[in-house]
Amino acid sequence: MPMQKKAFLDRRSPPHIVTLVVIAGLAALSMNMFLPSLPGIAVHFGADYSVVTLSVSGYLAFTAVLQLFIGPMSDRYGRRPVLLWSLVLYLVATAATMIAPSVETFLLARMVQAAVVSGLVLSRAIVRDMVDTDRAASMIGYVTMGMSVVPMVGPALGGLLEDLFGWKASFVVLLLAGVATLALAWLDLGETNRHRSTDMLRQFKAYPDLARSRRFWGYTLTATFASGAFFSFLGGGPYVATEFLGMRPSTLGLYFFFIATGYMIGSFISGRHASRVGINRMMIAGNIIAAAGMLMSLLLLLAGFWGPLTFFGPVFFVGLGNGVTLPSANAGIVGVRPHLAGSASGLGGAIIIGGGAGLSVVTGWLLTPQSGPAPLIALMLASSLAGVIASAYVVRVQASLRPGVAAPDTAD
C-alpha cells in the first residue's frame, strides 16, 4: 500500500521530517543538556561524583531496556500511540527530577526520563516505514543532521543556565521542550505502520530471527562501537574538563560544539551521499575518521601537548565519523527485516545503548585524580577501532552472499 503524501500538521498523513527531527532532538537534549551541571548536582545532594554519573550510565541502561519493548509495542499497536504515551511519561519524570528530595529519588526520576528514547527508536522505524533501505540511510542522515543542532546548543545552554540559575534550570527547559514536542507530535504524527502484528508475543518471538542474521549483528555492533566512543566521552568528558582542565560549566558547554559540529557535518554528508555510495562503505569511512581523531588525541597527549583544544579538537572527528557511520548502520539494522523494523530498531538500539552504558561506567572507574585523561582517550580509540572491524565484517558477510540475489531471511 503506497504511503500517503506528507502534509505538515495533519495527523492523517505521515509526519514531516521537521517533526522527526524535533522528536529525536528531544531525546538528544535530554541526554546531554545537563552534563555541565553534574558537579553542581553532586554538591546539591552531597553525593560523590561517581554516584551522580549514574544519571548518565543508569539512564543509558534504562534506555537499553526500554527499547526492547518500545519496538515490538510499536509494531503491534502503532508508532503514534506508543510515542505519545512515552512523551507523557517523560514529562512526569522530568517534573519529578526538580522536586526530588534525595539523590536516590533524583536518579529514579532520571531513569524514567529514558522513556523519551522512543523518539530515537521510532523515528528510525517511521523512516523505514516510508522508504527503502538506501533512501532510509539518506533520510536518517538528514534527521540526525537536524537533531545534531541540539547537542551543539544543549550543553552550552545547560552550562549557562547552571552558572545563572543552578542545575534545576536545565530540567525546567527540558519540561517546556517536552510539552512543545508532545503538542507537535499530536498534531503532525500520522500513523505509518500499515502492517501491524497481531500480538506482542509474536514480536518478541521475532528477536531470535533477528539474532540469527549476521548482517543484523554486523550493523548493530558497528553502531555500538561507533556510539561507544561518544558515550565514553559523555561519561568522562565533564570529569576531565573540570578536574584536569579546570573549566567552568559554561565553558565546558561551549566546547561540546566540537563533537556536535562534527556530528552535524557527518550527518549532512550521509544525507547527501549514503544512497549513492552505499551504507557499508559509509560505515567503514566513518569509523576510520573517528579512530584517526582519537589516535591524534593520544599522540598529542603523549607528546606533552595538553589543553582544551588538544582534547576537544580531535573529538570533532569522533562526531564527524559518527555522523557518517550511524545513519547507515541504523538503516542497515531496520532494513535486514523490513517487516520487523520496529523490533529491529528496538533490539538494535538496546544493544547499542547498553554497550554505551557499559563503556560510560568503565570510564567512571578508570578516571581518577591520579589517572589523567589517558584512560578516556584510549577507551575512545579502542571503541572506534572496534567499529572499523565490525564494519569490515558486514562487508565480508555481504560479499559471501550470491551476487545479484537478495539474501533470504535465513541465510544472511
> What amino acid is encoded at 344 in this protein?
A
On the question of pLDDT at 9 being above 60, the answer is yes
Determine the pLDDT at residue 271.
78
Q: What is the CATH number of the domain that holds 321?
A: 1.20.1250.20
Instruction: Report CA-CA distances (Å) from 267 to 124, 168, 317, 341.
Output: 14, 31, 12, 21
Contact 289, 229 (CB under 8 A): no
pLDDT, residue 298, reads: 94
**Mean pLDDT, range 232-258, rounded to an integer:** 81
pLDDT value of residue 172: 94
Asked whether residue 322 is assigned to any structural domain, the reply reads yes
Which pLDDT score is estimated for 148? Answer: 60
Per-range mean pLDDT, top range of 21-30, 236-245, 386-395: 386-395
What integer is the mean pLDDT of 318-335?
Answer: 88
How many domains in the chain?
1
pLDDT at position 293 is 95
pLDDT band at 256 (very low <50, low <70, confident <90, very high): confident
User: Does the pLDDT value for residue 240 go beyond 50?
Assistant: yes
Is 408 contained in some domain? no
108 has pLDDT over 90: yes
Give the whole-angstrom CA distance, residue 39 versus residue 171. 15
Residue 92 pLDDT more than 90? yes
In b/e form, how buried is each residue of 138-177, taking b as 16+ CB within 10 angstroms?
A: bbbbbbbbbbbbbbbbbbbbbbbbbbeeebbbbbebbbeb
Asked if residue 409 belongs to a domain, the reply is: no
Q: Is residue 254 part of a domain?
A: yes
Residue 125 maps to a domain: yes
Evaluate if residue 102 carries a pLDDT over 60.
yes
Q: What is the mean pLDDT of residues 284-288?
A: 95
Q: Express each pLDDT in 159-193 by its tens digit.
A: 888 888 888 999 999 999 999 999 999 998 888 77
Cell of 13: 498523513
Give the range of the structural domain holding residue 77, as residue numbers without chain letter: 17-400
Report the pLDDT value the prediction gives residue 391, as an integer from 0 to 100.
94
* Whether residue 396 has pLDDT greater than 60: yes
Question: Residues with Cβ < 8 Å from 246, sequence gap 6 or more?
Answer: none
Please report whether residue 69 resides in a domain: yes
Using one digit for the tens of pLDDT, what is the confidence trace for 38-89? 888 888 888 887 788 788 878 878 887 887 788 778 877 888 899 999 999 9
Average pLDDT for the chain:
82
Statement: residue 283 has pLDDT above 60: yes
Query: 410 in a domain, yes or no?
Result: no
Q: Give domain status of residue 412, yes or no.
A: no
